[in-house]
Amino acid sequence: MSDLSTIHPLRHEYRTSTPPTPLFGRAVDTFVQQLRLAGQALRAGRLDEAISGYFRLLAQRPYHAELHNSLGVALRQAGKLEAAVSHHRLSLAEDPQNPALHTNLGNALRAVNRPEDAVRHHFRSIALNRNYADGFFNLALCLRDLGRIDEAIGCFTRALSLNPESKRARTELAIALLMRGDLAEGFATYEARKRLPETPIPDFAQPAWNGGPIQGKRILLYPEQGLSDVLLFVRFARELKRRGAKVIALCQGPLKDLLANADYIDTVVAEGESLPAFDVHASMVSLPHLCEPDFNAVSEPYLSAPSDRLIKLGRLDKARLRIGIYWAANGQKEQDRLRSVPFTRFLALTGEPELLIFSLQGGARQKDIQQFGAGGLVHDVGRGIFDFAEAASALSQLDLLISIDAPIAHLSAAMGLKTWVLLPAYPDWRWQLGGPRAPWYPTARLFRQPKVGDWESVFTVIRNEVELLKLQMPPVTTGR
């Protein structure tokens, strides 16, 4: 099954304004021309060409601030993060009073998950220039990473006062507000994301819904970001139906049969299929703003398993608890790595006859079960799951799901099932910051890393909680 795809903050790049060291003759012209050509390749995304060009120029100017800075930017975009940090340090060594070089080094340090070091350089950048909007913006990103939300909001606000037209700063401010729990203001501000280049713009002739009367109208809801956002925000289709709208849901293919089972959706269309006629449209991510819900109201389950597509999970006579697990994101981004949990952590739950463990893991990481010799300990259900309707069928037969931040966790919680979500130290904004609960899901419990990479502490708590839960469950006496 696919994993969450979200908008991630782009780290802004800033070239130093320091002029090249003056030389004489054709060598200067050639160096400047080659530096410009490498910069054009970088801006065009031809990273290998840019990096090769910068490397050649280093032989001529090993202590050139702008050259090291640009090479650091290119290496970071290519995923060579530690080398990028070193080149930004060399750049700063040549021009230590340049605020742009401090903030670029801070960006590189953030990329290698050293936010405390990054904060120091971002603070230095705004100390050198109190009107440096980009410095305040990048400092705010790091402070938000560290959970210093109030300070981050202050820095985003300062950046916007210096550059009111910054769509990026306004969008990242919205995420900080949402993490703090200011949902109404946060979602209203988050509408700024629609002006970012990476936000898909629907090519519909019909107008976007502005939140006005919807009685008797046909509204098309479309997925803007990932699977998890559809599972999270489709709940607001109930409100549209209550107001008298005919609801048409456009979704990713694996969600079609699941959403077709919802009585508040009239028509479900998978991406790539022909659309029926409609009057207005709305992004599902915009529904929390447009519908103006009471965020303090307890959410009832709003997704369920189709009765005619059951996947049968086995039973064992001595098992008190049937537990589903999901441990790895399938994406290649750094955040996917941070939110994934080593499969071996879950092996601590095996070896007890009272626990029956089922894997719902999708993708390549299904191989972990055999790789670690756990084929007799963990029952691999994920290999037989091809869409979310089938996943819902499997979930409905479990006593508990223990999952990382992934679509399966949203699905389980949306069904009102007992769901334990394992979160990294710096979680996605949808889970907010701090506390064991999320506003969306009454039956979900959040287990957060106390520091980056510390899954051991999380699983110490998990094992204790499983023991307590096991005592509350009657023994299962049904045969296999």
> Which tens digit of pLDDT belongs to each residue from 405-457?
999 999 999 999 999 999 998 889 999 888 899 889 999 999 999 988 899 99
Residue 246 pairs with which residues in a beta bridge?
218
Q: What is the per-residue pLDDT for 235? A: 97
The mean pLDDT value for 1-18 works out to 36
The mean pLDDT value for 149-177 works out to 97
Q: What is the per-residue pLDDT for 18? A: 41
Q: Which residue from 292, 415, 402, 397 is spatially nearest to 345, judged by alpha carbons?
A: 402
Range in 110-119, 131-140, 278-287 with the lowest mean pLDDT: 110-119
B/e letters for 411-436, b = 16+ CB within 10 Å, e = fewer, are: bbbbbbbbbbbbbbbbbbbbbbbeee
Q: What is the per-residue pLDDT for 265? A: 98
Q: What is the per-residue pLDDT for 336? A: 86
Range in 11-15, 105-109, 168-172, 230-234 with the lowest mean pLDDT: 11-15
Distances from the Cα of 300 to the Cα of 176, 414, 417, 439, angstroms: 26, 8, 11, 12
With cut-offs at 50, 70 and 90, classify the pLDDT of residue 477.
low
Strands annotated E in 207-308: 218-222, 246-251, 267-270, 280-283
Report d(CA 307, CA 358) in Å as an integer. 21
Name all contacts of 50-56 with Cβ < 8 Å and 24+ positions apart.
50/74, 51/75, 51/78
Q: What is the per-residue pLDDT for 26? A: 56
Q: What is the 3-state secondary structure (H, E, C) of 184-236?
A: HHHHHHHHHHHHCCCCCCCCCCCCECCCCCCCCCEEEEECCCCHHHHHHHHHH
Q: What is the per-residue pLDDT for 298? A: 72
Rg for the chain, CA atoms, rounded:
25
Position 471 pLDDT exceeds 70: yes
Position 300 pLDDT exceeds 60: yes
Q: What is the DSSP letter of 80?
A: -
- Residue 243 backbone phi and psi in degrees, to 5: -80, 0
Q: What is the per-residue pLDDT for 438? A: 85
Q: What is the per-residue pLDDT for 476? A: 55
Beta strand 280-283 with 321-326 is unpaired
Q: What is the per-residue pLDDT for 9? A: 32
The mean pLDDT value for 100-127 works out to 95
- Residue 448 backbone phi and psi in degrees, to 5: -105, 140
Q: What is the per-residue pLDDT for 414? A: 97
Q: Which domains can be identified in the chain, with CATH numbers?
A: 26-195 (1.25.40.10), 218-290 (3.40.50), 321-472 (3.40.50.2000)
185: burial class by Cβ within 10 Å (0-12, 13-18, 19+)? Answer: middle
Report d(CA 48, CA 386) in Å as an integer. 38
Segment 138-148, tens digit of pLDDT: 999 999 999 99
Q: What share of the chain is helix, strand, coil (3-state, %, to 5)?
A: 50, 10, 40
Segment 392-408, tens digit of pLDDT: 999 999 999 999 999 99
Quote the pTM value: 0.88
Sign of the CA dihedral running 46, 50, 51, 53 = positive
Cβ–Cβ under 8 Å, residues 410 and 231? yes
Report d(CA 424, CA 405) in Å as an integer. 9
Percent of the chain exceeding pLDDT 70 equals 93
Please identify which residue in the block is written with the tokens 């670029």.
104
What are the tokens at 455?
């899954």
> How many of the other CB atoms lie within 10 Å of CB of 36?
11
Report d(CA 49, CA 74) in Å as an integer. 10
Q: What is the per-residue pLDDT for 480? A: 40
The mean pLDDT value for 51-59 works out to 94
Q: What is the per-residue pLDDT for 320? A: 87
Half-sphere exposure of 472 (CA within 13 A, CB side): 7
Q: What is the per-residue pLDDT for 118? A: 97
With cut-offs at 50, 70 and 90, classify the pLDDT of residue 17.
very low
Q: What is the per-residue pLDDT for 391? A: 96
Position 130 pLDDT exceeds 90: yes
With cut-offs at 50, 70 and 90, classify the pLDDT of residue 27.
low
Residue 460, C-beta contacts closer than 8 angstroms, at least 6 positions apart: none
Percent of the chain exceeding pLDDT 90 equals 79
